[in-house]
Structure 1
Amino acid sequence: MTSPLAHLEIPRILRLSASDQIAEALRDAIVEGQLPTGEVLRQDEIAARFHVSKIPVREALKRLEAEGLVSFAKNRGAVVAGLSPAEILEYMDIRAMLEARAAGLAAVRISDEHLAEARARLAEFGASPNTGRWGELNWQFHSTLYADADRPILLAEIRALYDKVERYVRALLAMTTQTEMPKTQREHAAILDAFARRDPDAAAALTRAHVLDAGASLVQYLNDHRHHGGNT
Structure 2
Amino acid sequence: MQLKSVDVSKTASATTIIFEAMKQAIVEGELEDGTPLRQDEIAKMFNTSRIPVREAILKLEEHGLVTSQRYKGAVVSSLSQDEVREIFDFRALLEPHVIAQAVPKMDAETLRIARGHYEALASSNDSSEWGDLNRKFHATHYAASGLTYHLAAIDNALNRIDRYLRARIMMDDGMIRANNDHLMIQEACEAGDAEKAAELTLTHIEEARDKLLAYLK
1:124 aligns with 2:101: no
The aligned residue for residue 46 of structure 1 is 42
SS at match of 1:108: helix
Residues 1:201 and 1:94: Cα distance change in structure 2 (over 3 Å): same
The aligned residue for residue 214 of structure 1 is 208
SS at match of 1:72: strand
**Residue 81 of structure 2 contacts residue 216 of structure 2 at CA under 8 Å; is this kept in 1?**
yes
SS at match of 2:75: strand
1:106 to 102, 113, 124: 102
Pairing of 1:190-209 with structure 2 (within 5 A): 190-209=184-203
Partners of 2:12 and 2:132 in 1: how far apart?
A: 23
Residues 1:15 and 1:141: Cα distance change in structure 2 (over 3 Å): farther
**Residue 6 of structure 2 contacts residue 45 of structure 2 at CA under 8 Å; is this kept in 1?**
no
**Residue 169 of structure 2 contacts residue 175 of structure 2 at CA under 8 Å; is this kept in 1?**
no
Matching residue's letter, 1:79: V
1:154 aligns with 2:150: yes
Partners of 1:75 and 1:183 in 2: how far apart?
A: 43
Moved over 3 A (4+): 11-16
The aligned residue for residue 164 of structure 2 is 168
Deviation of 1:184 after TM superposition, in Å, equals 1.9
- What is the number of equivalent residue pairs in this alignment? 216
Matching residue's letter, 1:10: S
The gaps in structure 2 that reach 5 residues or longer are none
The aligned residue for residue 57 of structure 2 is 61
Residues 1:173 and 1:98: Cα distance change in structure 2 (over 3 Å): same
Using structure 1 for the length normalisation, give the TM-score: 0.87
1:10 aligns with 2:5: yes
Using structure 2 for the length normalisation, give the TM-score: 0.93
Partners of 1:16 and 1:127 in 2: how far apart?
A: 40
Say what the alpha-carbon RMSD is for the aligned residues: 1.8
Deviations 1:126-147 (A, max 9, x none): 1112232111111111111112
Deviation of 1:96 after TM superposition, in Å, equals 1.8
Partners of 1:167 and 1:221 in 2: how far apart?
A: 13
Of residues 110-119 and 182-191 in structure 1, the stretch that sits farther from structure 2 once superposed is 182-191
2:33 to 14, 25, 37: 37
The gaps in structure 1 that reach 5 residues or longer are 224-232
Partners of 1:54 and 1:185 in 2: how far apart?
A: 43
